[in-house]
Amino acid sequence: MVNPMDIIQIENYYITYADGAESLRKINLRIKTNAINVLFGPAGGGKSTLLRAINRLNDLTDVKEVKGRILFKGKDILDPKLDVTELRRKIGIVFSRPMPLPMTVSQNVSYGLEVAGERDRRKLDEAVEKALRLAFLWDEVYDRLNDPANAISGGQQQRLCMARVLALEPEVIMLDEPTSALDPVSTARIEDLLQDLKAKYTIILVPHNVQQSSRMADHASFFLQSELIETGEGKKLFVAPKDKRTQDYVEGRFG
Amino acid sequence: MSAFDDQSQLRGAHLQERIGNTALWTLSLITVLPILGIVIFIIYKGIPGISWEFLTSMPSNGMREGGILPAIIGTFLLTLGCFLFAVPLGIAAGIYMADYAADTPMTRAIRIAIISLAGVPSVVYGLFGLGLFVIFFQMGVSILAAAMTLAIMTLPVVISTTEESLRTVPNAFRVVSISLGATRWQTIRRIIMKEGMPGILTGVILGLERAAVETAPILFTGAAFYLPTLPTSPLDPTMALPYHIYVISTQVPGMPLTIQYATVLVMLTFVLIMNIVATIIRSRARAKRQW
Amino acid sequence: MFKSNPIRTDRNITYIIKIAGYSCILFLALIFFFLLRNGLPALKDTGLDELFKTIWYPTEGYFGILPLLFGSLLVTFTAVLIALPFGVGTAVFISEIAPQAMKETLKPLVEILAGMPSVVLGFIGIVVLVPFMQKTFNLPTGLAALTGAILLGLIAIPTVVSIAEDAMNAVPQSYRQAAIAMGATRWQTIWGVTVPAARTGILTAIMLGIGRTLGETMAVMMVTGNAAVMPEGLNALIQPVRTMTATIASEMGEVATGSAHYAVLFFIGIVLFVFSLIINILASWVSTRGRKRSERILS
């Protein structure tokens, strides 16, 4: 039974790659709608793999074996009848390094809409402004929309990447260590932005340290070596974890 | 404690180094001096023969007088034909190798095929062109046959430079584009090709330049020495600059040297211009690059 | 929003691009096929033992290709002997010793040489090198194997330089630093550490230089005298000789389609084709193996 509160359901999911890269074993997880779902744990735990599996970004790589399924709003994402480009528009992703496309600020934001077929210049411009405002970037770049995107600062670039995703009006936004390359001020900005956005969107966040995890989590899941160790609401995992491994990690015994 | 406890050992090693450096310096000089010498020599000897008439009029008196217009036009037509047959196909194959081919035995076979095609001697291409285009497809000794032969010879160059150029475009762009809902072809068309275009262009220019100056592939497939008129159809044979140079320097008794030098100078100028254009494209692209 | 269109376009384009990719195999197979089709009759009509005799006199029915084969080998071997020291030496100089300003003058010059059409070099050979050889060695014409070898050496040098230089640039700086730290001079570092580390690439450079030289037609044709005689002894260097490539180029025009001569010329083409194939595939195998080995060592 699909719980309407859980926009994404991962059921008994296994995945291995042909080159032996980071894999996943027996993942059962529910992503809660309109909340910040935090996936945390040491490097190599499988968190990035899971994100890329959810929006089928791993179609680009050699997948050896997949078992189990991932449901988005009740539908299997691997269903051949499913339009994978639409899936990716609905589930956006922001990466750890700001990755602006080699075009202007405005073109970066409108890129997703243009490949989806939107040609109306006015509609595109409106969408660009709306997305930039949502990402709290408009006031800083409104007069530089036609500058190359790599001319703005790192923190601005990362918010640009957010605007890029927001322009497509997604339902889920996934962020893989989005602030790891940013200074504390820009980091705080992004974190505030996410708190704002969770009202309308579902957020999946892989934070880049435990402190960020406990700051941001509405729900948290601890990943270790390709397995999901435990999952819990709010700050529970950080205050009173059930599993010893979680406790060790949260207390900084390893990481 | 250094490896040289003995002062004389240290001096010996330094002496060895100085002699060695001088030797290599001399070697390099001997290597590049001929090139400079050749270019200057050809320019010096060839300029007297260059004139507007020379470049635009027909030859006369068995090539010993007049101009080389048919050879220039012939080379232009052959290069154009080569471009039409080799470039679209070559770029497509290059895109395949860079963005579509997985690491399978089939892909390795294709790669071996490309390397092999690149290593085939030009005269063997001539034989191939003779057997396939001239005789089997019954095109006869014609511009079409020669151009297609040159095209197959140019194919590996276009494919390799396209593939290499597309591979240098950061993979991050592909990942981002796909994650925003673009298809693979949209990604290639809108981003990868655009960013890789200067590299592709450079490769195409250099490949065509090489095709334009090759003699052996066109020897039995399309080139003729003395044609009274310019070609009127792709099935006509044609004169061509490289072949012309070969004949006038080896097989025409009483051929004035000035005309020989002048003709060679025309070809040399073409080669230098092409190389300069390619270099300019390459450096301007590097400056404008957003990555 | 047009949702299905980009996906359908993507599928169609994928199809076209795949075909383009596979076409290379098709073309290689075609070359093979047409060479065999026109050249195998030589085995049947003239016969293998007749082909491997030492007299090439087609108008009288003598189709022994050994003089041509050895002519090619002689000129190629000598050319590589010339290109090696100059090519590798220049490459070492450019990559390890030359200051930046000199590097930026030398490299374009080598590239200009690389772009020289072989007819132009053949022409220079005729007007400059041949009279020179004639005078120096007291020859009747100056058209000789050595003349061709010098030209071919010049043609092969840019290939050797660029690949050997790439190979040496690829040697990690840490190797050099380690040697210097142990007290070696720069010269000792180059020949004791860098060059051996780059030996796979240098080997590849030599092999590709051989391939280039073997397949060269016009320049040799214009300066080697085109006498199809078996080269004998060191003297052969200053005597006229004929390569396989020059034979095909000069005789194909006057040959009747389908005749025995025609087939033998194609047969020589097959020999050339197979030789070049082996050299190029070997060179690429050597370079891949070397790269894999260094990846393992450095990882």
Q: Judge whether C93 and B28 are in contact, CB under 8 Å.
A: yes
Radius of gyration of the CA atoms of chain C, in A: 24
Contacts of A119 in chain C (CB under 8 A): none
Mention the CATH class of domain A6-99+170-250: alpha beta
Residue spans of the domains in chain C: they are: 68-298
* Residue located via tokens 């007290």: C183
List Cβ neighbours of B245 (8 Å cut-off, separation of 6 or more). B260, B263, B264, B267, C119, C120, C123
Q: Which chains touch A (3 or more CB pairs under 8 A)?
A: B, C
Question: pLDDT digit string (tens) for A239-250?
Answer: 888 888 888 888
CB A44 within 8 A of CB A254: no
pLDDT reported for residue C2: 47
Domain range for B161 is 74-239
Say how far apart CA B2 and CA A239 lie, in whole Å.
60
DSSP per-residue codes, chain A: ---TTEEEEEEEEEEEETT--S-EEEEEEEEETTSEEEEE-STTSSHHHHHHHHTTGGGGS-EEEEEEEEEETTEETT-TTS-HHHHHHHEEEE-SS----SSBHHHHHHHHHHHTT---HHHHHHHHHHHHHHTT-HHHHTT-TTSBGGGS-HHHHHHHHHHHHHTT--SEEEEESTTTTS-HHHHHHHHHHHHHHTTTSEEEEE-SSHHHHHHH-SEEEEEETTEEEEEEETTHHHHS-SSHHHHHHHTTS--
Q: pLDDT by residue for chain B (291 residues), tens digit each?
A: 555 566 777 777 788 888 888 888 899 999 999 999 999 999 999 999 888 888 888 888 877 888 889 999 999 999 999 999 999 999 999 999 999 988 889 999 999 999 999 999 999 999 999 999 999 999 999 999 999 999 999 999 999 999 999 999 999 999 999 999 999 999 999 999 999 999 999 999 999 999 999 999 999 899 888 888 888 899 999 999 999 999 999 988 888 899 999 999 999 999 999 999 999 999 999 888 888
- Residue B288, domain member (yes or no): no
Q: What is the pLDDT of residues C193-223, one digit of tens each?
A: 888 888 888 999 999 999 999 999 999 999 9
In a domain, B276, yes or no: no
Q: Where are the domains of chain A?
A: 6-99+170-250
Q: Which of B35, B114, B159 is closest, CB to CB, to C112? A: B35
| A254's tokens | 């390893």
Six-digit token pair at B37? 């010498």
For chain A, the residue count is 255
pLDDT in tens, A167-186: 999 999 999 999 988 889 98
For tokens 């007749």, what's the residue?
Answer: C50
* CB contact set of C200 (below 8 Å; sequence gap of 6+): C167, C286, C287, C289, C290, C291, C293, C294
Tokens of C273: 């084709």
Residue B8 lies in a domain: no
Separation CA B62–CA B65 (nearest Å): 7
Q: Is B4 a domain residue?
A: no
What pLDDT does C1 receive? 43
Each residue's pLDDT tens digit, B258-276:
999 999 999 999 999 999 9
Angstrom distance (rounded) from CA B177 to CA B171: 10
pLDDT given at position C298: 61
Our CA-based measurement puts residue A32 at a distance from the nearest CA of chain B, in whole angstroms, of 22
pLDDT over 90 percentage in chain A: 56
pLDDT recorded at residue C3: 47
Inter-chain touch A168–B172, beta carbons under 8 Å: no
Chain B contact for A62 (CB, 8 A cutoff): yes
* Domain contains B262: no
Q: What dotted CATH number matches C68-298?
A: 1.10.3720.10
pLDDT, residue A45, reads 83
Q: How far is C4 from chain A (nearest CA, A)?
A: 8
Cα A222–chain centre separation? 16
Give the count of beta carbons closer than 10 Å to the beta carbon of residue A76. Answer: 13
Query: What is the total count of domains within chain B?
Result: 1
Among residues C28, C37, C32, C39, the alpha carbon closest in space to that of C268 is found at C39
CB-based contact, B14 to chain C, within 8 Å: yes
Helical residues (DSSP H) of chain C, grouped into ranges: 4-45, 48-51, 66-92, 100-114, 118-124, 130-137, 145-169, 173-181, 186-189, 195-197, 199-214, 218-223, 244-251, 260-298
Residues of B in contact with C109 (CB under 8 A): 32, 35-36
Tell me whether residue B188 is in a domain. yes
Give chain B's mean pLDDT.
91
User: Minimal Cα distance from C211: which residue of B?
Assistant: B119
Residue C12: burial class (beta carbons within 10 Å; 0-12, 13-18, 19+): exposed
Chain B interface includes C178 (CB < 8 A): no
pLDDT in tens, A106-164: 999 999 999 999 999 999 999 999 999 999 999 999 999 999 999 999 889 999 999 99
Longest Cα separation, chain C = 83
Supply angle C-alpha A201, A202, A207, rounded to 5.
120
Nearest-5° Cα angle at C9, C3 to C15: 145
The per-residue pLDDT string of chain C (299 residues; one tens digit each, 9 = 90 and over) reads 444 588 888 889 999 999 999 999 999 999 999 999 999 988 888 888 888 888 888 888 888 899 999 999 999 999 999 999 999 999 999 988 888 998 988 988 998 899 899 999 999 999 999 999 999 888 888 899 999 999 999 999 999 999 999 888 888 889 889 988 988 888 888 888 888 888 888 999 999 999 999 999 999 999 998 888 888 878 888 889 999 999 999 998 888 888 889 999 999 999 999 999 999 989 888 888 777 776 666 65
pLDDT at A145: 94
Nearest CA in chain C to A87: C3
Cα angle for residues B184, C13, A116 (degrees, 5° grid): 45
Determine whether the interchain pair C188/B21 forms a contact, defined as Cβ–Cβ distance below 8 Å: no
Q: Is B223 in a helix, a strand, or coil?
A: strand
Q: Taking CB atoms and an 8 Å cutoff, what residues of chain B touch A168?
A: 180-181
Collect all residues of chain B within an 8 Å Cβ-Cβ radius of residue C257: 135
Residue B251 forms part of a structural domain: no
Does residue B175 sit at the A interface (CB-CB below 8 Å)?
A: yes
Give the relative orientation of helices C4-45 and B143-168 as an angle to the nearest 10 degrees.
Answer: 130
